[in-house]
Chain A
Amino acid sequence: MKKSLTSLALLLALSAAHAADPGKKLFTENCSACHQPLVLLVGPPLAEISRLYRGKEAEFLKWCHNPSPHKRKNLVQMPAMTHVPVADLKQIYEHIMVISKDLKEIEQKTGDPFPDTLARRPMVQRMFLDKTGPASIAVALPGDLNFCWDAGECRLRYLWKGEFLDAYPYWRGNGSSLAKVKGEIFYTETTSPLTTDQPVKFLGYSMKDAIPTFKYRLGGTEVHERIEAIDDGLQRSFVFKNAPSQITLGFQANDQLSYSSKTGSWNGTTLSAPTDAPVVVNIKLIK
Chain B
Amino acid sequence: MKTLPLILTLTLFAQADVWTDTFSREQIPTPIGVDPQIGGLDTFPDQRIAAAFHRGQVMIYHPETRDWKLFAEGLHEPLGLLIEDENNILVMQRPELTRLTDTDGDGVADEYTTVYDGFGMSGNYHEFAFGPAKDKDGNLFISLGVASNGAGIREEIRGEFQPIGISRERMLAGSTWGKNRNAAGRMYSRVPYRGWIMKIAPDGTATPYASGVRSPNGIGFDADGRLLVMDNQGDWLGTSKIHDIRKGAFHGHPAALVWREGWTEDPLKTEVKKLNEMRTRAAGLMPQGELANSPTQPIVVPSGIFKGISGHTLIGEMNQPTLVRFLPDPGVTGASQGATVPFLQSNAFGNGRNRMTFTKDGSLWIGKTHLSWAGAEGLIRIRQKNPDETLFAVEGVKLQNNGFIVTFTEPVENDLPKGISMKRHTYDYHQAYGSKIVDEATIPINISLLDADRKTFLLECDKSQLKEDYLYRIDLGNLKSSAGKPVLGDKIYYHLISKEK
- A-B interaction: yes
Question: Complex Cα distance A29/B433, Å?
Answer: 12
Does B396 sit within 8 A of A, measured CB to CB? no
CB closest chain-B residue, reference A32 = B374
Collect the chain A residues with CB atoms within 8 Å of residue B111's CB.
204-207
Of B1, B93, B98, B151, which one neighbours A4 at CB under 8 angstroms?
B1
CB closest chain-A residue, reference B155 = A131
Q: When A33-B373, A124-B73, A203-B114 are in contact, do A11 and B9 touch as well, CB less than 8 Å?
A: yes
Contact with B along A54-92 (1 / 0, CB 8 A): 000000000000001010000011010111110000000
Instruction: Looking at the assembled complex, report how far the CB atom of A23 sits from the nearest CB atom of chain B, in whole angstroms.
Output: 12
Collect the chain A residues with CB atoms within 8 Å of residue B435's CB.
83
Assess whether A33 is in contact with B319, with CB atoms less than 8 Å apart.
Answer: yes
Assess whether B54 is in contact with A171, with CB atoms less than 8 Å apart.
Answer: yes
Assess whether B55 is in contact with A203, with CB atoms less than 8 Å apart.
Answer: no
Collect the chain A residues with CB atoms within 8 Å of residue B123's CB.
128, 134
Assess whether B73 is in contact with A30, with CB atoms less than 8 Å apart.
Answer: no
Choose the segment among A113-121, A232-240, A250-258, A260-268 that binds chain B (4+ C-beta atoms closer than 8 Å). Answer: A113-121
Question: Complex Cα distance A134/B109, Å?
Answer: 24
How many residues from B make CB contacts under 8 Å with A? Answer: 62
Q: When A117-B33, A174-B373 are in contact, do A76 and B150 touch as well, CB less than 8 Å?
A: yes
Q: Give residues of chain A (1-54) contacting chain B, Cβ–Cβ below 8 Å.
A: 1, 4-5, 7-8, 11-12, 15, 25-26, 28-30, 32-34, 36, 41-42
Assess whether B33 is in contact with A116, with CB atoms less than 8 Å apart.
Answer: yes
CB closest chain-A residue, reference B157 = A134
Collect the chain B residues with CB atoms within 8 Å of residue A203's CB.
113-114
Interface size of A as a range: 35 or more
Assess whether B74 is in contact with A124, with CB atoms less than 8 Å apart.
Answer: yes
Assess whether B113 is in contact with A204, with CB atoms less than 8 Å apart.
Answer: yes
Question: Complex Cα distance A79/B151, Å?
Answer: 11
CB closest chain-A residue, reference B294 = A33
Collect the chain A residues with CB atoms within 8 Å of residue B2's CB.
1, 4
Q: Give residues of chain B (83-105) contacting chain A, Cβ–Cβ below 8 Å.
A: 93-96, 98-99
Does A106 sit within 8 A of B, measured CB to CB? no
Collect the chain B residues with CB atoms within 8 Å of residue A206's CB.
110-112
Instruction: Looking at the assembled complex, report how far the CB atom of B179 sits from the nearest CB atom of chain A, in whole angstroms.
Output: 11
Does A202 sit within 8 A of B, measured CB to CB? yes
Collect the chain B residues with CB atoms within 8 Å of residue A70's CB.
178
Contact with A along B109-140 (1 / 0, CB 8 A): 11111100100011101100000000000000
Does B154 sit within 8 A of A, measured CB to CB? yes
Assess whether B55 is in contact with A114, with CB atoms less than 8 Å apart.
Answer: yes
Question: Complex Cα distance A266/B275, Å?
Answer: 61
Does B34 sit within 8 A of A, measured CB to CB? yes
Assess whether A42 is in contact with B114, with CB atoms less than 8 Å apart.
Answer: no
Assess whether B4 is in contact with A4, with CB atoms less than 8 Å apart.
Answer: yes
Assess whether B374 is in contact with A33, with CB atoms less than 8 Å apart.
Answer: yes
Assess whether B110 is in contact with A83, with CB atoms less than 8 Å apart.
Answer: no
Does A123 sit within 8 A of B, measured CB to CB? yes
Collect the chain B residues with CB atoms within 8 Å of residue A173's CB.
125, 371-372
Collect the chain A residues with CB atoms within 8 Å of residue B77's CB.
175
Question: Complex Cα distance A30/B436, Å?
Answer: 11
Contact with A along B355-386 (1 / 0, CB 8 A): 00000000000000011111000000000000
Question: Complex Cα distance A176/B150, Å?
Answer: 9
Assess whether B55 is in contact with A171, with CB atoms less than 8 Å apart.
Answer: yes
Collect the chain A residues with CB atoms within 8 Å of residue B416's CB.
none
Does A135 sit within 8 A of B, measured CB to CB? yes
Does B297 sit within 8 A of A, measured CB to CB? no
Of B125, B289, B433, which one neighbours A174 at CB under 8 angstroms?
B125
Contact with A along B151-172 (1 / 0, CB 8 A): 1001011100000000000000
Question: Complex Cα distance A114/B371, Å?
Answer: 15
Collect the chain A residues with CB atoms within 8 Å of residue B295's CB.
none
Question: Complex Cα distance A137/B320, Å?
Answer: 35
Interface of chain B: mostly helix, strand, loop or mixed: loop
Question: Complex Cα distance A12/B126, Å?
Answer: 44
Of B75, B110, B433, which one neighbours A126 at CB under 8 angstroms?
B75
Does A271 sit within 8 A of B, measured CB to CB? no
Does B5 sit within 8 A of A, measured CB to CB? yes
Question: Complex Cα distance A273/B123, Å?
Answer: 37
Collect the chain A residues with CB atoms within 8 Å of residue B151's CB.
76, 176
Question: Complex Cα distance A203/B97, Å?
Answer: 11
Q: When A32-B319, A126-B93, A206-B110 are in contact, do A113 and B35 touch as well, CB less than 8 Å?
A: yes
Assess whether B4 is in contact with A132, with CB atoms less than 8 Å apart.
Answer: no
CB closest chain-B residue, reference A212 = B112
Collect the chain A residues with CB atoms within 8 Å of residue B125's CB.
76, 173-176
Collect the chain A residues with CB atoms within 8 Å of residue B373's CB.
33-34, 41-42, 174
Instruction: Looking at the assembled complex, report how far the CB atom of A101 sits from the nearest CB atom of chain B, in whole angstroms.
Output: 21
Assess whether B372 is in contact with A125, with CB atoms less than 8 Å apart.
Answer: no
Q: When A42-B372, A114-B55 are in contact, do A202 and B114 touch as well, CB less than 8 Å?
A: yes
Of B4, B114, B320, which one neighbours A204 at CB under 8 angstroms?
B114
Does B186 sit within 8 A of A, measured CB to CB? yes
CB closest chain-A residue, reference B430 = A83
Does B452 sit within 8 A of A, measured CB to CB? no
Assess whether B76 is in contact with A126, with CB atoms less than 8 Å apart.
Answer: yes
CB closest chain-A residue, reference B371 = A174
Collect the chain A residues with CB atoms within 8 Å of residue B73's CB.
124-125
Assess whether B156 is in contact with A134, with CB atoms less than 8 Å apart.
Answer: yes
Instruction: Looking at the assembled complex, report how far the CB atom of B138 sits from the nearest CB atom of chain A, in whole angstroms.
Output: 20
Does A141 sit within 8 A of B, measured CB to CB? no
Question: Which 4 pairs of residues, A with B, have the shortest CB-CB distance?
Answer: A29-B289, A126-B76, A76-B150, A135-B95
A: which residues have CB within 8 A of B? 1, 4-5, 7-8, 11-12, 15, 25-26, 28-30, 32-34, 36, 41-42, 68, 70, 76-77, 79, 81-85, 113-114, 116-117, 123-128, 132-135, 137, 151-152, 167, 171-176, 202-208, 212
**21 pairs from A and B in contact (CB 8 Å cutoff):** A1-B1, A1-B2, A11-B8, A29-B289, A33-B319, A33-B374, A41-B373, A76-B151, A117-B33, A124-B74, A126-B74, A126-B95, A133-B121, A133-B156, A135-B117, A135-B158, A174-B125, A203-B114, A204-B112, A207-B109, A208-B110
